[in-house]
Homo-oligomer: A and B are copies of this chain.
Amino acid sequence: MHSPQFTADVLSDGMRERDFTVGDVPGVLWSPVSGADRAPLILMGHGGGTHKKHAAMSGRARLLVRGCGFHVAVIDAPGHGDRPRTAHDEAEIAELYRARAAGEPEGPVVVRYNAHLADLAVPEWRATLDALQALPEIGADGPVGFYGINMGTAIGVPFVAAEPRVTAAVFGQHWPDALAAHARRITVPVEFALQWDDEHIPREAGLALFDAFASKEKTLHANAGRHKELPRFEADSAVRFFARHFGRTVPSPA
């Protein structure tokens, strides 16, 4: 087992931020500034069209690292962030924009494209987890969580279904078509967010994906509002979910 190749090591927003690569895949590892004690690791999947250091990622990392003392890692999905786009990526993105401009449902394109990305990304996530667990401050037997909404769910559900090292997960906002079969193999605690008035994902589709998880402990958080209006307090809730399962204290908000 080889550690990740670190390419940068800075302080950022009260966290230690290390850029790394595992093979060709670039990632970021955020850790507490103080102390080399072992701590749980949360893997986070970014949304479609964004990247590993998007504000949604660094903001959630800040809550998990500074609030709970966890490590947080994000890798760029295939075709995203610092990674090259293939002709297939370009064609699918063009098709998504065409569907949007034509007022057609974007679900069929997103479901198909994200399933393709998940096929590529699941082995990348497994190799990344192998490498991160070789670090002494993480270790091979510590708790591992996964947190990803939208495309982070499209990749995370097949990953968690295939990966017994992940023992708690936060997902949300995707269609069941390509994911329900994987969700039926997931038995770890799950928190799942959807938007009650999502203009892209029909309500019944979101509820069907939540229903598919085999987890004895699973919680649906459905909020009034459209697709992009997922409330900020759901990130606080996800942090508490991991703190509850991994035994860390969450500080009170100011």
> Are A221 and B224 touching (Cβ within 8 A)?
no
- Give the residue name and chain of the B residue nearest to A249 (CB): B252
A220 within 8 A of B: yes
- Give the residue name and chain of the B residue nearest to A222 (CB): B220
Interface stretch (choices A17-25, A37-45, A211-219)? A211-219
A142 CB → nearest B CB, Å: 21
Complex Cα–Cα for A215 and B215 (A): 31
> Are B218 and A223 touching (Cβ within 8 A)?
yes
A250 within 8 A of B: yes
A254 within 8 A of B: yes
> Are A221 and B223 touching (Cβ within 8 A)?
no
Give 1 or 0 for each of A230-251: 1 = CB within 8 Å of chain B CB: 0101001100100010000111
A196 within 8 A of B: yes
- Give the residue name and chain of the B residue nearest to A207 (CB): B207
> Are B218 and A219 touching (Cβ within 8 A)?
no
- Residues A220 and B221 in contact in the complex (CB < 8 Å), given A233-B244, A252-B250, A253-B249: yes
Q: So how many copies of this chain end up in the complex? A: 2
- Residues A251 and B252 in contact in the complex (CB < 8 Å), given A219-B222, A219-B223, A220-B221: yes
Interface residues on A, range: 20 to 34
Give 1 or 0 for each of A139-179: 1 = CB within 8 Å of chain B CB: 00000000000000000000000000000000000000000
> Are A250 and B253 touching (Cβ within 8 A)?
yes
Complex Cα–Cα for A104 and B196 (A): 32
Complex Cα–Cα for A240 and B221 (A): 15
Query: Inside 8 A of A220's CB, which chain B residues have their CB?
Result: 196, 220-223
In order of increasing CB-CB distance, the 8 nearest A-B pairs are A220-B222, A218-B224, A249-B252, A219-B223, A251-B252, A252-B252, A250-B252, A221-B221
28 pairs of residues in contact across A and B, judged by CB atoms under 8 Å: A196-B211, A196-B218, A196-B220, A207-B207, A210-B222, A216-B224, A217-B224, A217-B231, A218-B223, A219-B221, A219-B222, A219-B223, A219-B224, A219-B231, A220-B220, A220-B222, A220-B223, A221-B221, A222-B222, A233-B244, A236-B240, A237-B237, A249-B252, A249-B253, A249-B254, A250-B253, A251-B252, A252-B252
Starting from the known contacts A196-B211, A220-B220, A220-B221, 16 additional A-B residue pairs (CB-CB under 8 Å) come to: A196-B218, A196-B220, A217-B223, A217-B224, A218-B223, A219-B223, A219-B224, A219-B231, A220-B223, A221-B221, A222-B222, A236-B240, A249-B252, A249-B254, A250-B252, A252-B252
